[in-house]
Amino acid sequence: MNELSQTTAIQTRRTVRENRPLAEGIFQMTMTAPAIANENPSPGQFLNISVTDDWLHPLRRPMSIAGRDEDNLTIIYKLFGEGTRLLSQYASGNSLDVLGPLGNSFGTTEGTTPVLVGGGVGL
């Protein structure tokens, strides 16, 4: 039986280190997030990001964790609407409200042949 990783979700304001286009309409953002990174997020987990501090865009945007490097987390996202357009305007040094890691991670696959089926941009 596969064991799922158990983590504690943390809500915190984080600083953007880099937010750059990878291709037309696709961005990569790296942020400092030591408390979340120390939870050792696993494949399949994600962050919920608040793109503004006002009530014009109250819903958080779920973003897959694309990478972790010591105290930094990276997401990759595609411009779909107003929320991701606002996210694309964050510059190095800006802060944003992040909640994570969330979701179930993938378990071990010893002795089996894993099949990965995915969609979206962050996978």
Which CATH number covers residue 84?
2.40.30.10
CA 89 – CA 82 distance, rounded (Å): 11
Asked whether residue 121 is domain-assigned, the answer is no
The pLDDT tens digits for 54-112 are 999 999 999 999 999 999 999 999 999 999 999 999 999 999 999 999 998 877 778 88
Asked whether residue 80 is domain-assigned, the answer is yes
Asked whether residue 110 is domain-assigned, the answer is no
Asked whether residue 25 is domain-assigned, the answer is yes
Asked whether residue 54 is domain-assigned, the answer is yes
**Partners of 78 in the β-ladder:** 26
CA 119 – CA 44 distance, rounded (Å): 12
CA 74 – CA 66 distance, rounded (Å): 5
Asked whether residue 5 is domain-assigned, the answer is no
Provide CB contacts within 8 A for 4, sequence distance 6+.
104, 105, 107
pLDDT at 123: 47
Asked whether residue 68 is domain-assigned, the answer is yes
Which domain, by its residues, includes 80?
13-102
**What's phi and psi for 90, nearest 5 deg?**
-65, 135
Look at the chain and report how many structural domains it folds into: 1
Asked whether residue 41 is domain-assigned, the answer is yes
Asked whether the beta carbons of 97 and 49 are under 8 A apart, the reply is yes
